[in-house]
Amino acid sequence: MTERRQAEDRQVLMTRELDHRAKNALAVVLAALRLTPAGDPRAYATAVEGRVAALARAHTLLTERRWTGTDLAELVRGELRPVLPPDQPDRLQIEGPAVLLAPQAAQPLAIALHELATNAARHGALSGPAGQVAVGWSIGREDAALHLTWREYGGPKVAGAPQRLGFGWRVMRASLTEQLGGRLDCHWPATGLVCEVALPAARVLAEPARPPLRPPV
């Protein structure tokens, strides 16, 4: 009887956890829908499909690890893969320690990376034949934060900050600052877009980062 009761208790806890995860995923989808302009039906559909696909990719990675977290490098590759030419994988450079993201952080970060990747493919470094994207991260011991830098180079020359930021930037800022409590700083030097992200480790990491550094891929 004791074993049966323990099994029933585990089933109840699992059901509650699945319900919580489903509600979180739906909340992220609804936020993406609200932040997507609906003036152009075709553009609206494309934007929504892209954001939902980013959530689905993050969900798959989490499921593979039974929702214990997901590897940051795998998340970055997954969001860049759809916009990279399959025969040019060297246009993406990744470097940083092995980091396991907490389940609640994976999907908002996937959305932010999707927005950056989409922008790079349309307007930034990946819109040309030779541009590259470098993504690096580290754990700040003093501020207990995950620091991630997105850097583009080799693409079209940048004339400076855009006069008006699109809805994709609003989605990215909402994901990183409102959902994860982080900071986002973007710069537009002539060489290409640079975005620096700082996220509180207590909210985004499933466990401390592990050395050694992951070599560039």
What are the tens digits of pLDDT across the range 129-141? 989 999 999 999 8
User: Taking the domain 2-214, which CATH number applies?
Assistant: 3.30.565.10
Asked whether 175 and 116 are in contact (CB, 8 A), the reply is: no
- In which residue are the tokens 């916009």 written? 83
Asked whether 109 and 180 are in contact (CB, 8 A), the reply is: yes
For the chain, what's the residue count?
217
10-residue mean pLDDT profile of the chain (217 residues): values are 73 65 64 63 73 84 86 96 87 95 91 94 92 96 92 93 82 89 95 96 77 40
Does this model's pTM top 0.85? no
Report how many helices (DSSP H) and strands (DSSP E) the chain contains, helices first: 6, 8
What is the overall mean pLDDT for the chain? 84
pLDDT for res 215: 39
| C-alpha–C-alpha distance, residues 70 and 95, integer Å | 16
Look at residues 161, 157, 162 and name the one whose alpha carbon lies nearest to residue 191: 157
What are the tens digits of pLDDT across the range 60-76? 888 888 888 899 999 99
